[in-house]
């Protein structure tokens, strides 16, 4: 499939879903009161999709790869913050697991895309 726009990128599509899930998750009563954690996890999730979009329009493959790496690291940040939210009992295991799995899927897609782009550089 040819990628004409950042919205065609699978990792961006998954990140978009993740952002919605994170915003829904953080609207819960306990999570909603922890403004710092709520803000941090929301910003990290938004950063994933934003960096994919920004990198796509960066003008070079090398720059795009760097932006994808930022997205990958933001995905790791979301994972870590999800564990914290679970430990603090802001979320339940059944809420945690599917979002963690989506985050891991995004990292896998990003890693594969980075490898592909490096092979055609």
* Predicted TM-score of the model (pTM): 0.95
Q: Which backbone phi and psi does 57 adopt, to 5 degrees?
A: -95, 15
Residue 3, in any domain of the structure: no
Question: pLDDT tens-digit profile of 19-65?
Answer: 999 999 999 888 989 999 999 999 999 999 999 999 999 989 999 99
CB-based contact 12:49 (threshold 8 Å): yes
Residue 2, in any domain of the structure: no
Number of domains present in the structure of the chain: 1
Residue 1, in any domain of the structure: no
Question: pLDDT tens-digit profile of 76-90?
Answer: 999 999 999 999 999
Query: Token digits for 57?
Result: 């329009």
């Amino acid at each position: 499939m040819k990628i004409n726009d950042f919205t065609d990128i699978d990792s961006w599509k998954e990140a978009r879903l993740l952002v919605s899930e994170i915003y829904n998750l953080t609207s819960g009563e306990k999570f909603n009161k922890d403004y710092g954690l709520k803000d941090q996890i929301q910003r990290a999730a938004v950063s994933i999709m934003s960096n994919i979009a920004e990198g796509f329009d960066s003008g070079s493959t090398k720059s795009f790869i760097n932006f994808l790496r930022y997205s990958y690291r933001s995905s790791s940040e979301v994972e870590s913050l999800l564990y914290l939210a679970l430990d603090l009992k802001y979320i339940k295991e059944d809420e945690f697991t599917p979002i963690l799995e989506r985050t891991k899927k995004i990292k896998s897609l990003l890693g594969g895309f980075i490898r592909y782009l490096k092979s055609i550089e």
